[in-house]
Homo-oligomer: A and B are copies of this chain.
Amino acid sequence: MTIAILGGTGKEGAGLALRWAKLGHTILIGSRDASRAQVKAAELREIARASAITGHSNAEAAARAEIVVIALPANGLASTLPEVREACRGKVVVSTVVPLTFGTGRLFAPPPIGSSGEEVASLLPEARVVAAFHHLAAHELADAEHPIDCDLLICGQDPPAKETVTQLGQAMGLRVLDVGALTNAGPLEGITAVLATINRRYKLKNSGIKITGL
């Protein structure tokens, strides 16, 4: 499949690009600055030993993709998504966005709508939004030979879109669990605050989460 990763120059987006490229998908790295996306794409082609990774503006990447992954910072959604609204119409859009604010105060700071996933859905009303991939450490994704010791928890309103994302996760070797409607995106995003705190406190780079009892 052809997968755009908006904000794909960041660590999390680049890690997903690497994993999916090695599985044979065509990857379009998107960035506000197309030349930065091209530099990152060249770097990833080398690491992945895969040729189908190219760099583009966010708008061009979204327009050319079958699936659009949003790996933007939470505070960049309102400025970036309106320009890709038409390109995302009817497409599966995966929000990996986590509303964390590092520094003093409250680490988990979701927008008034409840979650970044719901903000994505409100800015891309005709897209089929699934929130997923919040908990996979960038550090784990980057080592593409290594199995990832983490469940993939997803939520969204569109069952076929969730099925597509489930297959993308299972192909990476992950157990995928359906966590219901997009109103659960806030709790899923909040888990990243828990993991970031544990990483800092226990000097880790790659804590993750597994669901027990099933």
Contacts and interface: CB of A to CB of B under 8 A. Distances in A.
B191 A179 contact: no
Contacts of A179: 194, 197-198, 201
Interface residues of A, number: 38
B202 A214 contact: yes
Contacts of A200: 180
List the number of copies, as a whole number.
2
Interface string A188-199: 101101110110
A186 interface: yes
A150 B204 contact: no
Interface in A74-120: 105-108, 114
Interface of A: 105-108, 114, 137, 149-150, 153, 177-180, 183-184, 186-188, 190-191, 193-195, 197-198, 200-202, 204, 206-214
In the A-B complex, the 4 residue pairs with the closest CB atoms: A187-B190, A207-B213, A208-B212, A180-B197
9 contacts: A107-B187, A179-B201, A180-B201, A187-B190, A187-B193, A204-B214, A207-B214, A209-B210, A210-B211
